[in-house]
Amino acid sequence: MKAHYLAITLHGIRQNNFQAFLAVLGVTVGVSALIVSLGLARGARQSIGDQMLAIGANMIVVTAGNYQVKRPQDSGIAPADHGFLMPDTSVMRGLASMESPRLISDLEKPETGGATFLLAHYEDDPNAEHDHPTAAERLGDAMAGLGAAATLSIEDARAIENSLEGISFVASGVHENARVSLSEEEGGKSWFTRLHGTEPTLPSLRAGWTYTSGRFFSESEFNDKSNVMVLGQVVSDRLFGTNANPVGETVFLWNQPFEIVGVVSSKSWASRPAAGDDQFDAIYTPVSTIHELLNLSKLNTITAAARSAGETSRLAKDITMLLRSRHGITEQMPDDFTVQTQAEKLLGSGLPPDVARVVAGNMGSVDNITMEQLSGSLERANTTMVTLLASIAGVSLLVGGIGVVNLLLLSVTQRTKEVGLRLSVGATRRDIVFQFMSEATALTLTGGVIGILVGISVVHMVGEFLGWAVYLSSLSMVIAVVISAALGVLAGLYPAYKASSLEPVGALYYE
Amino acid sequence: MSRFGEVVGTNEVAVNANVIKLDNVRKTYEMGETSVHALKGVSLSVEEGEFVTVTGASGSGKSTLMHILGCLDTPSEGHYSLGSEDVSRLSREDLAEIRNKKIGFVFQGFNLLPRTSAAENVEVPLLYSRPLEPASVRKQKALSALNLMRLDDRASHHPNQLSGGQQQRVAIARALVNDPELILADEPTGNLDTDTGREVMETLVELRAKRNITIILITHEPEIAAYGTRIVSMKDGLITSDTSNQ
Ligand SMILES: Nc1ncnc2c1ncn2[C@@H]1O[C@H](COP(=O)(O)OP(=O)(O)O)[C@@H](O)[C@H]1O
Ligand SMILES: [Mg+2]
């Protein structure tokens, strides 16, 4: 049955080459417009999404300690026998005011298996008697071990990761200021930078990262507490010069040798590496290694990524609730941590100029916007463009479809004698309907396939020469094929009906 | 077994098998207020292997008769049996199948599809045969029908590359391709010059001799009518004479 119609269709199309060409051309224009508009629209959306992620719009950072807590003697909120928070995080290491029973049991059986510095208690345990050499004394670097508040644990990080819906990744962190040197001796080349002890999941949180060379440290290096280090681009440039590949070289931190495994840089216009920034003027090592070297067990920060930027405010609240309950904080007591969305941070420190321009173009005032509003405003701008392009595609497809209807109607008239002849040799009305329908569909599908090819090339050229963000999905190809087939069926319907209502005798002698 | 498969030259003799039996057939066209009586009661029997030529003035009802004989149209009154089947009240689909399997048409204007090769033109009836035969079989059947018309060297020519006589022989090949019982030809020589017309008529005579196929041919020219084994004359929708011409 199918082969039957195919044979008739091929016969039919071949004798009407020029009409077929025109019909195909109309559909080709429509479908390529569709592919281009979908490609550009998806590209723009992807690009907006990428930029939002790259600037960290979906980040939530939990910091140990709480600036807002007043001294107990001023407010009387905190019990007098508890420690309190100082406004300077680097000295906020004494806070254990609300330790839960679980927290204590943690401290009772420390799990630091690396036996090098196995000690009775951690240095960030505020209840312990510190009767042994400090990290600074042991490692021979006066700065080692400074700057850690101690209310967040690895278990808190895992709890956030596992029990909250909408969180995609969590990385724990210990952050120090540190000097990294090329040689062990004094006076060698060195750079004073930010040290981040973190987890191998961190790159998943940093959508805007790219590796100039090497890679991030691995799960096994993390578990082995290896002395491995990833340099930010700025640090690599300062120590080894621009365009150098320092992977495999050794640098010294707290007089300990670290092997460089990678150099990380930014791929986004929204955050370019610059001296003094927190991501690329920085070095990264496993937090397990830092904990081991400094004999610490607590975290300064937990960074969580929301699946979408629009959810950060809700998730920030959820994290606050979760940590309060985990830390056993009662209703009247203040948090012993600070939850900040990256949005608040960004707006506090000023937006990257390109983002600021987009925002300024789309919103009246940037004073009070949230990242949700920024994201929403970009989405709306994008939706407007998608709608515009889709209308263009729709109109050209309509024109193409009407073209096919016209050409087929003309062809029914021109081919009345042919229909009569076909009827006289045994074609049924059904055969005639299917002939015209399948001719229409074959024409529009041919137009569709050519249109897809043309569309793909145009999208590539726009991406190449105009530098626009483009994105070609296989879904858009499927949509294009389905639309052209449906167009063929629709366009063939009326001509096919007209052709099939011809009477054999009348049609045979039509002039 | 296909008639093409038989040995060329076997002159099978028909034994009184009626291919066609028309019984008091009338055809009336309603034209608003007036009705046109194109056939006013035609009875006709044709046996297998006969070559009947139908003559008569323009408007006498020859074509109307042929359309009814060819199942392109149905009688207003009366009965028509083709083979053993009463086809006067069959559905459109059944009529289409009869046209496809049992009847081959040859028209005055050839009615070939333009921009389509001779072989493909001949193949068209096979496209509507159920079950559909494989393309290779269809092609081979088309070529052997063209071969019978001595046109095998023109198989890939388009109609506009062929002379009128050649085009009409392509049309005859198309009428033959599905191995019909009956060939109906309406003024097949009407668009051809005298010599070419004669050539086509001789082809049909030869074909009948080879195949024992039944032919009914309409013409208004007496010298063309003379090729038939039987000559039927019509006037005003009625048969006025029916004579043997052996
Ligand atoms: N479709 C039709 N509608 C109305 N009248 C018709 C139609 N076909 C034929 N006729 C009329 O029927 C009569 C016979 O026509 P036709 O069979 O074509 O004659 P012939 O072929 O002998 O010239 C003529 O008067 C013609 O005008
Ligand atoms: Mg006539």
Tell me the C-alpha distance between A481 and B235, whole Å.
60
Tell me the C-alpha distance between A124 and A292, whole Å.
12
> How much is the pLDDT for A99?
34
- SS3 for A277? coil
Cα-based torsion angle of the residue sequence A188, A193, A197, A199 in order, rounded to the nearest 10 degrees:
-110
- B29: Cβ below 6 Å to ligand 1? yes
CATH of the domain at B197: 3.40.50.300
Tell me the C-alpha distance between B210 and B207, whole Å.
5
Q: What are A240-261's pLDDT values in tens digits?
A: 988 889 999 999 998 899 999 9
Task: Name the nearest CA neighbour of A235 among A287, A279, A288, A169.
Answer: A279
Name the least confident of A37-51, A60-74, A145-159, A208-222: A60-74
> How much is the pLDDT for B237?
95
Tell me the C-alpha distance between A415 and A84, whole Å.
94
Q: Which two tokens stand for residue B108?
A: 């005055």
Number of domains in chain B: 1
Tell me the C-alpha distance between B155 and B117, whole Å.
7
Q: Which residue of B has its CA nearest to A1?
A: B132
Q: Which two tokens stand for residue A142?
A: 């006066």
Whether residue A425 and residue B124 make contact (CB cut-off 8 A), yes or no, is yes
> How much is the pLDDT for A126?
55
Q: What is the CA radius of gyration of chain A?
A: 34
- Pairing assessment for the beta strands B51-56 and B230-235 based on DSSP bridges: parallel
Q: How confident is the model at residue A56 (pLDDT cuts 50, 70, 90)?
A: low
> Domain of B173?
47-75+83-244
Indicate whether A75 pLDDT > 60. no
Residues of chain B contacting residue A423, judged by C-beta atoms under 8 Å apart: 72, 96, 99
First to last CA, chain A: 32
Residues B237, B37 contacting (CB under 8 angstroms) = yes
- Pairing assessment for the beta strands B214-218 and B182-186 based on DSSP bridges: parallel
A179-183, A215-219, A437-441: which has the highest mean pLDDT? A215-219
List, in sequence order, every residue forming a beta bridge with B47; answer none if it has no partner: B18
Centre of ligand 2 to C-alpha A143, Å, is: 114
Which amino acid residue places its CA nearest to atom 5 of ligand 1?
A: B29
Task: Name the nearest CA neighbour of B176 among B211, B206, B205, B209.
Answer: B211
The stretches in chain B having pLDDT less than 50 are 1-15
- The minimum CA-CA distance between B147 and chain A, rounded to whole Å, is 20
Q: Report if residue B135 sits inside a domain.
A: yes
Q: Report if residue B7 sits inside a domain.
A: no
Tell me the C-alpha distance between B67 and A419, whole Å.
16
∠B65-B67-B72 over CA atoms, to 5°?
Answer: 150
Q: Report if residue B116 sits inside a domain.
A: yes
∠A330-A334-A340 over CA atoms, to 5°?
Answer: 120
Residue A123 phi/psi, 5-degree rounding, is: -70, -20
Residues of chain A contacting residue B70, judged by C-beta atoms under 8 Å apart: 424
> How much is the pLDDT for A471?
79
Q: Which residue has the higher pLDDT, A412 or A50?
A: A412
Q: Which residue has the higher pLDDT, A111 or A508?
A: A508
- B61: Cβ below 6 Å to ligand 1? yes
Q: What is the CB neighbour count within 10 angstroms for residue A78?
A: 22
Q: Please return the burial class of B212, using the count of CB atoms within 10 Å of its CB with bins 0-12, 13-18 and 19+.
A: middle
Q: What are A232-245's pLDDT values in tens digits?
A: 999 999 899 888 89
For chain B, what percent of residues have pLDDT higher than 70?
93
Q: Report if residue B31 sits inside a domain.
A: no
Task: Name the nearest CA neighbour of A71 among A60, A57, A62, A83.
Answer: A83
Q: Which residue of A has its CA nearest to B66?
A: A505
Q: What are A87-100's pLDDT values in tens digits?
A: 333 333 333 333 33
Centre of ligand 1 to C-alpha B226, Å, is: 24
Cα-based torsion angle of the residue sequence A255, A258, A260, A264 in order, rounded to the nearest 10 degrees:
-70
Name the least confident of A153-157, A183-187, A263-267, A500-504: A183-187
- B233: Cβ below 6 Å to ligand 1? no
Tell me the C-alpha distance between A153 and A224, whole Å.
19
> How much is the pLDDT for B103?
96
Q: Which ligand 1 atom sits closest to the C-alpha of B234?
A: 22
List, in sequence order, every residue forming a beta bridge with B20; answer none if it has no partner: B46, B82
List, in sequence order, every residue forming a beta bridge with A446; answer none if it has no partner: none
Which amino acid residue places its CA nearest to atom 13 of ligand 1?
A: B38
Q: What are A117-169's pLDDT values in tens digits?
A: 444 556 665 555 555 666 656 665 554 544 445 678 888 888 888 888 888 88
Q: Which ligand 1 atom sits closest to the C-alpha of B56?
A: 22
From the CA of B190, the nearest ligand is: 2
Q: Which residue has the higher pLDDT, A134 or A367?
A: A134
Strands (E), B32-67: 34-47, 51-56
Q: What is the dihedral sign for C-alpha A409, A414, A418, A419?
A: positive
Q: What is the mean pLDDT of residues A361-378?
A: 50
> How much is the pLDDT for A296?
80
Q: Chain A contact for B96, CB < 8 A?
A: yes
List, in sequence order, every residue forming a beta bridge with B85; answer none if it has no partner: B82
Centre of ligand 1 to C-alpha B61, Å, is: 6
Q: What is the CB neighbour count within 10 angstroms for residue A398?
A: 13
- Domain extents for chain A? 2-51+374-508, 59-73+144-307, 83-139
Q: Report if residue B1 sits inside a domain.
A: no
Q: How confident is the model at residue A268 (pLDDT cuts 50, 70, 90)?
A: low
Q: Report if residue B17 sits inside a domain.
A: no
> How much is the pLDDT for A12?
62
Residues A235, A89 contacting (CB under 8 angstroms) = no
- Pairing assessment for the beta strands B182-186 and B77-82 based on DSSP bridges: unpaired
Q: What letter represents residue A208's amino acid?
A: G
Alpha helices (H) along A327-370 = 342-349, 353-362
- SS3 for A329? coil
- B64: Cβ below 6 Å to ligand 1? yes
Residues A373, A313 contacting (CB under 8 angstroms) = no
Residues A404, A444 contacting (CB under 8 angstroms) = yes
List, in sequence order, every residue forming a beta bridge with A191; answer none if it has no partner: A180
What is the side-by-side order of every strand in the sheet holding B214-218? B103-106, B182-186, B214-218, B51-56, B230-235, B238-244
Alpha helices (H) along chain B = 62-69, 92-102, 118-127, 135-148, 164-176, 194-211, 222-225
Residues of chain A contacting residue B159, judged by C-beta atoms under 8 Å apart: none
The mean pLDDT value of chain A amounts to: 74
Name the least confident of A5-14, A204-213, A343-352, B145-154: A343-352
Q: How confident is the model at residue A297 (pLDDT cuts 50, 70, 90)?
A: confident
Residues B197, B118 contacting (CB under 8 angstroms) = no
Whether residue A504 and residue B72 make contact (CB cut-off 8 A), yes or no, is yes
Q: Report if residue B173 sits inside a domain.
A: yes
Q: Chain A contact for B244, CB < 8 A?
A: no
